Amino acid sequence: MPVSRSVVIGVDSSTQAAKAVAVDAATGAVLGTGRAPHTVTGTGGARESDPEEWWTALVAAVRAAVRDAGAAPGEVAGLAVAGQQHGLVALGADRRPVRPALLWNDTRSAPQAAALTARLGGPAAWLDRTGSVPVAAVTAAKWQWLREREPRRAGAATAVRLPHDFLTERLCGAAVTDPGDASGTGWYAPAARGYDPGLLDLLGLDPAALPAVAPTGATRAGTLVPAAADALGLPGTVVVAAGTGDNMAAAVGLGLGATGLLDHPVVSLGTSGTVFAATRARPADPALSGFAATDGVFLPLGCTLNCTLAVDRFAALLGLDREDARPGGDVVVLPYLDGERTPDLPAASGLVTGLRHTTDPRAILGAAYEGAAFTVLRALDGLLAACGLDPADPAVRDRPLRLIGGGARGRAWTDTVRRLSGRPLVLPAAAEPVALGAAALAAAAVTGEDPVAVATAWGTGTGETLPAVPRDEEALWRIGGVLDAAAPTLLA
């Protein structure tokens, strides 16, 4: 039976789940989807997952996507994985995890991040070498935590991987990563496009334990090994791309390629809230992560730990539906339920102020939305300034924001971001830009094309545009005042 179409599969292995899309490589049409959950454990600052469960979920999600697409196994040409960034996967000699993975939002390594910053000579030294200053999320801080707190497990580790590296190696047998995800480790130098030997020495990390860095995430890493092909029900001829981190894949899926100084600012509302943009400039700001994109440009990013899950928690505490919110009025909520990253307050807890007997619970929920959105938008202002743009310049402020993530599908989220940003919003029609970006990487690995050009031709970054509304300056002033006053004291 002749093969009638070429199908590529993109996998978004996120904090909460594995999501797979089966895509027509010629048109970008999503033919089928699959999803399988992940389990996150831990109390306090701990956040861990079993990497073996990621593999089980990937298999289930890919099988479901292929089945939903009605695709014959022989039609599948390529596959790529985009994974949650920063997570530390330590493997033993048998290539099995020596312990559960430490996730990006595990804040126990905050003291190690501060100590590493000091040992190298301060934030400026880290910015110069890696583009980022260590925070609890960065893999280097997690590795140092493991060395100090669990030295036997650290000593038993013969390989260190990021989540997407682990899954790619399980698929094709190649120990490979890409510049984008590697730039979030704290031991990779984006400007030099390689691991920094001095930082590896500082961390006591053998370079032989690390994967090779492919030129791009679209680099062909190999084909399915027999065990993976059997698990997925696919032929061993399926090409596996090197893959990348979730934010880098979202940039590909949205067609970001740094056509000028700054390309398409993006706000992603998910478990975390992130802001990022592709740029040819290399910004140096300690409040940002100076990531590399997977295709050779830079992808500066600000990240807040507390976004949709934090607001959902307030809705649950108040017994309200997540959409049953109104503007906060005099109520201010800083929903830092799991510490915070931007601003760097890893020990922070949530704060609610401005309550009265007459306060409407819906206003408290609205204030939670406002606090989360404010933090994300303040990070966006920092990103613009680091790229040489004035956030207060009307020409800059009027640029549309691309809003993605689960929150982008909620009315309360979009209303709040519109009101606090005063910007037009573009809501891409594609529901899974990370998985679609991974699919574009897979297609590029098969054909040799540029993955951003592939995604642009697919049109995955286009969608409904919501016009700007006047900025709620009063709410911005009120929330900013509480945050600036509380940060050094109540949240330290």
User: What are the residue numbers of the active site?
Assistant: 246
Q: SS3 sequence, the chain?
A: CCCCCCEEEEEEECCCEEEEEEEECCCCCEEEEEEEECCCECCCCCCEECHHHHHHHHHHHHHHHHHHHCCCHHHEEEEEEEECCCCEEEECCCCCECCCEECCCCCCCHHHHHHHHHHCCCHHHHHHHHCECCCCCCHHHHHHHHHHHCHHHHHHCCEEECHHHHHHHHHHCCCEECHHHHCCCCCEECCCCEECHHHHHHCCCCHHHCCEECCCCCCEEEECCHHHHHHHCCCCCCEEECCEEHHHHHHHHCCCCCCCCCEEEEEEECCCEEEEEEECCCCCCCCCEEEECCCCCEEEEEEECCCHHHHHHHHHHHCCCCCCCCCCCCCEEECCECEECCCCECCCCCEEECCCCCCCHHHHHHHHHHHHHHHHHHHHHHHHHHCCCCCCCHHHHCCCEEEECHHHHCHHHHHHHHHHHCCCEEEECCCCHHHHHHHHHHHHHHHCCCHHHHHHHHCCCCEEEECCCCCCHHHHHHHHHHHHHHCCCCCC
Q: How far apart are CA 171 and CA 179, in angstroms?
A: 19
Residue type (1 letter), 83: G
Structural contact between residues 89 and 27, judged by C-beta atoms closer than 8 angstroms: no
Structural contact between residues 138 and 86, judged by C-beta atoms closer than 8 angstroms: yes
| Phi, psi of 241, rounded to the nearest 5 degrees | -80, 160
Q: CB neighbours (10 Å) of residue 57?
A: 24
